[in-house]
Structure 1
Amino acid sequence: MSATLDAVSWLQVIGLGGAMGALGQGIRAIVGIKKLNDAANGTPASTSDLIEPSRIWISFGIGFIAGALAAVSLITDLAHVSSQQIFMLMAAGYSGADFVEGFMSRQEVAVTIATTPEAGGPDAGGTPPPPATATPPAVDGSVG
C-alpha cells in the first residue's frame, strides 16, 4: 500500500520515526552502558573512562535514520498511528543501529598488494604479504 501525503505530513512522519528510532537507540545505549559498567568492575578504569561520546552520538543518528526509514514504509495515516506502530519504530531504531554498527565493525578495509611481477607491486619478487590480524569485538557498539 502506498501513501500519498503532502510535504508537511511526510516531514511529520520522518520526524516521528526518527524520534522513536533515537528513543529505541537510547534504550540500547542504556543496556550497553550497563554491560560496560559490569565489564569495568574490577579494573582500574571507570565506566566514564570507557564511554566514547562520539560513538553514542553516531549511534543516535543511526537510530534516527533507521526509525525514519521504517516510518516512511509503516505509517500511512498520521491521524491514526497506533501504539504498536510506535513500538515498531523504536524497535527499528534499536535493531537498525545494532545491525549497521555490527555490520560496519566486521567490515575491515583490506588492501592487498599484488605479489605477481605483472602487477608491479612491491612484493612482486615472490614475498607473501603479511598475514591479516583480527580485531577483538567490542563489548557493545553503542558505548564504545
Structure 2
Amino acid sequence: MAGYELLQLIVIGVIAGAFGQGLRTIVGLKKASDEAAAEGTTLRSEGLDVSRLIFSLFIGAIAGGIGILTITGFQASAAVNISAEMFFGVVGIGYAGTDFIEGFVRTQLPKWGRQPFVPTMSPRSLHSTTEFFTTISSTDRIKQSCEKLLKTPENASDCSGFAKAVAQEFAITLTGQANDIVGQLTSANGWTELVSDTQAGQRAATAAARGEFVIGARKETGNGHVVVVVAGSPLAHGKYPFAYWGKLNDPANAGFNKTVNWAWDQASRDSVTYASRGVV
C-alpha cells in the first residue's frame, strides 16, 4: 500500500472513530442531563469538563484509525473499497474507544511480530503486580455478585437482606435490619470507618475502586436503608458513589448500579455512614 493510500485510509478511520465517540458523548450528556433535571439542576450549573469531552473524541479518533487498518488488513486500494458496513463498523469501534484500543493491544500486536517483553521483577514488584490484579478482580467480583443477587425478588425488595447476601459471598457477616447494620460498621468489627460527612461518598468510591467491600447505611425512624457501594465514575455531583440496593416492598425500583443520590432524598443523602473492609 502506497503512503498516500495509507494516509487516506487512516483519515477515514479517524473521522469515523471520532464520530462514533461523539455519539457516545451525546448519549452520556443526555443521561447526565436527565439525572440533573431530576435533581432540579442543570448541566450548566453543575459544570462540564470540556477537556474531557475533547479527550474522548481524541480517543475515538485513535481507535478509529487503528480499527480501519485492522478491518481492511492493509490491502491495496482499501480506501476506495470501503463498504457502508465497514464504515459503520469503524464508527462502532470509535464508540467503544478505550475498550477497543485495550483489546487491540492485547490481541493484535503479537501477530505483527512484536516480541513480548518479559521483565525481570523483584519479589517486591511481583507482589505489587499480583496485588494490583487481585484488586481488579475483587471490584469485578463485587459488581457481579450485586448484579446476580439483586435480580432475585427477595433481595430486590429488601435492602438489608440484599446487603447481607452480598456480604456473605465475601465471608463478611452483617446481621439485622438496616438500622442494626449502621451500628456494626465500626473499626471494632473490622471495618474501616469512612464516617458520614459530605466527603464520605468520595472516600467510599475510592475504597470500592481499590477492590474493598463498601457499605453505605443510614439509621432512620422505623426502617433505615443500606446500599452496597461499587466502583464507578463520575460521581454524581462529585460526591455520590455508585451502588446497588434493594427497596423495601418495591423491587421494581431497586437500585442497579446507580449513584446513591437516588437511594436517599436530598435531606438524607449527605449523612450516610460509609465503611469498608478487604475481601478474600
TM-score by length of 2: 0.35
Pairwise CA distance, 1:39: 1.0
**What residue number does 1:89 align with?**
90
More strand per residue:
2
- Partner Cα distance (2:100, 2:55) in 1: 11
Q: Residues 1-144 of structure 1: matches in 2 within 5 Å?
A: 5-43=1-39, 45-48=41-44, 49-75=46-72, 76=75, 77-97=78-98, 99=99, 133-134=207-208, 136-138=231-233
Partner amino acid, structure 2, of 1:13: L
- The 8 Å contact of residues 63 and 96 in structure 1, kept in 2 or not, is answered as yes
Whole-Å separation in 2 of the counterparts to 1:139 and 1:100:
21
Bigger Rg over Cα = 2
Instruction: Write the deviation string for residues 19-61 of structure 1: whole angstroms up to 9, x where unpaired.
Output: 0000000110110000000110143542133421111111001
Amino acid in the other structure paired with 1:81:
I
Q: How many residues align?
A: 110
Mapped to 2, the partners of 1:38 and 1:45 lie a distance apart of 10
Identical amino acids, percent of aligned pairs: 29
Structure with larger RCO (C-alpha < 8 A, sep 6+): 1
Verify the 8 A CA contact 2:63 2:100 in the aligned structure 1. no
Q: Which runs of 5+ in 1 are unaligned?
A: 102-111, 113-129
Q: Are the equivalent residues in 2 in contact too, given 1:35–1:139 (CA < 8 A)?
A: no
Over 3 Å counting, the alpha-carbon distance change for 1:14 and 1:44 in structure 2 is same
